[in-house]
Structure 1
Amino acid sequence: MGVLNRLIDMTKAAVNELMDKLEDPAMMLNHYVRNMQGEIDAAQAELHKQEAMVRGFQQQSEEAARLADLYDAKALEAMAAGYEASAREALAAKLHYAEKSREYSAWLESAKSRIAELTRRIEEAKAELSVMQKKRDELITRVQQTAAKTHQAMPSFSCGFDEGSASRGFQRMEEKILQWEAHAELRRTPYGYNYAGAPAAAGTVSEQAADPSKEALINEQLEQLRKRMPAAE
């Protein structure tokens, strides 16, 4: 068996091994699209929670500030009436509620920052979801076209679902489909030859031979072929 034929057989084996590990890409692409929608829904639920917290902190801060003012007035009245002990108690209450008002205000600002971040993430995720949905349809169409062109069954990728973000899983899935397309095309016309042995598009082999390292390997193989040929009588 010639070197070229062995290389072709090795390529076939590698492609067949890859195909054995493939599963329906549409199912996995849809899985990641649904996961992205789930991430958006979770972020929106958290957004609603933070919005409720903002309203609560706002009310608590205002109420604490009102009580601080109230006890400030009571302290002033007690001092005017000569009740220093009562004034001290009122001032202690004033300081307590003033501190509480500052705490609630800080939590309020933190919740507002969280809302701004969640709003930004949701907007970005929605835009990414739209791109994923379009890309999903495009990828499924490409897989169908490649399968039809190469007379192969629709592939699948039974390597398990990615447990990370939906976006990363979708990107990995796209990379796997690109690899499958490349392998399928290589299987259809490996090394510039089709399976009937006819040359493929003109220039394919000559372009490969233009690489000095490849040309040296080809010359070496040619020399080995010459030694194997029967000697001329």
Structure 2
Amino acid sequence: MGIFSRIADIFKANINDTLDRAEDPEKMIKLMVVEMQEALTKSTSALAQAMGNEKRLERQYQQLQSSSEDMQSKAITALKAGNESLAKTALVKKSQVDTQLAQYKQMYESASATTAQMRAQVDKLKAKLDEARMKESTLIARSQQAKAQTQIAKSLGGFDDNAFAKFDKFEQKVLKSEAEAQAFTELSSSNTSLDDQFAELQQNNQVDDELAKLKALLNK
């Protein structure tokens, strides 16, 4: 029983220390499962030793019981043969065996009770480990989801009203630049149109002068 108590104390101490130092829940959960697996391995080993001791005591108890029955049978045989002295000798031997038998019976029953209790504890630890393993993937998934949600919240928090006010300011600058570009384009187009009109007027004057020259030449 002592080893199970020590294993439980060590396990609790390790887990408490882990909780104090843990920064990553995923690592902590995995470590807890590993701790439970190690505790189960040690407990199973202790149970195997206890079962071996129980079997050894059971064999010795059965041998002494057979020896006691054998001495009883020999005493009866001696009495039937009329040899009371030999019967007494067999009964003395039986008494000695019975003393040992009583001791081994007590040891065997105690070992059997201890083994049964240890087996129950190991079964309980196995059930806890199975439960922990089933929860491990779920808890890790929830932890990762919480991290993702936190990251998204932090990202959204970075874009407050001041950030969007800057966007509005930049938009106004872009609109101003677009308006200036459009104005320069219109002015440029207007100047080009005026130059074309003067060029056309000059060309028309030249044509009129040439026409007048031709008319004067014909009238001669």
With the length of structure 1 as denominator, give the TM-score of the two structures. Answer: 0.48
Structure scoring higher RCO (CA < 8 A, sep ≥ 6) equals 1
Which of the pair has more CA radius of gyration?
A: 2
Instruction: Pick the structure with more helix per residue.
Output: 2
